[in-house]
A and B are shown apart, each in its own frame.
Chain A
Amino acid sequence: QSALTQPPSVSGSPGQSVTISCTGTSSDVGGYNRVSWYQQPPGTVPKLIIYEVSNRPSGVPDRFSGSKSGSTASLTISGLQAEDEANYYCSSYRSGGAYVVFGGGTKLTVL
Chain B
Amino acid sequence: QVQLQESGPGLVKPSQTLSLTCAVSGGSISRGDYYWSWIRQHPGKGLEWIGYILYTGSTYYSPSLKSRVTISVDTSKNQFSLKLGSVTAADTAVYYCSRAEGSSDAFDIWGQGTMVTVSS
Contact = CB atoms under 8 A, between A and B. Distances in A.
Given A102-B48, A103-B46, A104-B46, A93 B105 contact: yes
Nearest to B52: A100
Interface string A41-62: 0000111100110000100000
Interface string B27-44: 000000000010000000
Contact of B108 (A51, A93, A100): A51
Given A99-B60, A99-B62, A38 B104 contact: no
Interface residues of A, number: 26
Contacts of A102: 46-49
Given A99-B60, A102-B49, A48 B113 contact: no
Interface string B100-116: 11011111101111000
A66 B46 CA distance: 20
Contacts of B26: none
Interface of B is mostly: strand
Interface in A64-104: 87, 89, 91-93, 97-104
A-B interface, 8 closest residue pairs, ranked by CB to CB distance from nearest: A51-B106, A105-B46, A36-B106, A100-B49, A102-B47, A93-B105, A34-B105, A45-B110
Interface of A: 1, 3, 34, 36, 38, 45-48, 51-52, 57, 87, 89, 91-93, 97-105
